[in-house]
Every structure is written in C-alpha cells, then in structure tokens.
Amino acid sequence: MNIRTVFIRAAIAAVLLGGFVAITHAPHALAAQDSVTMSVDARAPLHASLLPTVSVVAAATDATATTLLRVAAVESLPVTLLPTVHVTAHVSAFITTIATDSVDARIASARD
C-alpha cells in the first residue's frame, strides 16, 4: 500500500472527526456562553440618491486628444442608508469548551 494513501485517509478521517466534534459541541458552547453581542449606531436612517454611472475616457499621453464623457441613460435611484450594526463574536469561550471536551474524551478513552 502506498504511504501517501495512508496519509490521505488519515487526513480525511481527522477532518471528518474535527467536523463532527465542532458540529456536536458548537450549539452547547454557544448556548452556555453569551458569546455574541450586537449594537446599532444611534443614528437616524439617511435618505440619499444613487446617481447614474459617469464614464470618462481620456488619453493620458496626449493632452490634445478628445475626451469622451458618457452618462448612463437611467434615472437616479432613491435609497435609504440604515445605521451600522456591529456584531461581535467572542470565540475564546467556544474554543476553550471544545478543547476541554476533546481532552476529557481522550482521557476517558485512555482509561478504557
């Protein structure tokens, strides 16, 4: 058997095991900790207009060359800019929980 095949299978098994641990432990770690915070800027929504695209074509090497200016044939679009929402995830508690659980699992399997 080729040694690369063994390493590839071991790597795939490690990735699958890591994904399994993350999927099974993530909801518990996130539910146990207040690991996500959210804040919204105290600013009223701002009304604005998106203007049509303006294209300028000019030759940088020739100052006497003609310059083309094109404006897209669309109307301006009214939009509302909302305040910024800041979401912060505190990952350290999540990683600590996964690391502790995996060490506990290794100790339990070593005892068996």
Domain borders along the chain are 3-111
Q: In terms of pLDDT, which residue wins out, 39 or 96?
A: 39
What pLDDT shows up at residue 2? 67
Contact present, 37 and 91 (Cβ < 8 Å): no
Range scoring the smallest mean pLDDT among 5-9, 27-31, 49-53, 55-59: 27-31
Instruction: Evaluate if pTM is beyond 0.85.
Output: no
Distance CA 104, CA 112 (A): 13
pLDDT tier at 60 (50, 70, 90 boundaries)? confident
- CA–CA separation, 68 vs 54, rounded Å? 10
Check residue 6 and give its pLDDT: 79
> Is the pLDDT assigned to residue 46 strictly greater than 70?
yes
Distance CA 29, CA 91 (A): 10
**Which are the contacts of 68, defined by CB distance < 8 A and separation ≥ 6?**
55, 56, 57, 58
Q: For tokens 């083309």, what's the residue?
A: 68
Residues 56-92 as b/e (b if ≥16 CB within 10 A, e otherwise) read eeeeeeeeeeeeeeeeeeeeeeeeeeeeeeeeeeeee
pLDDT above 80 (res 22): no
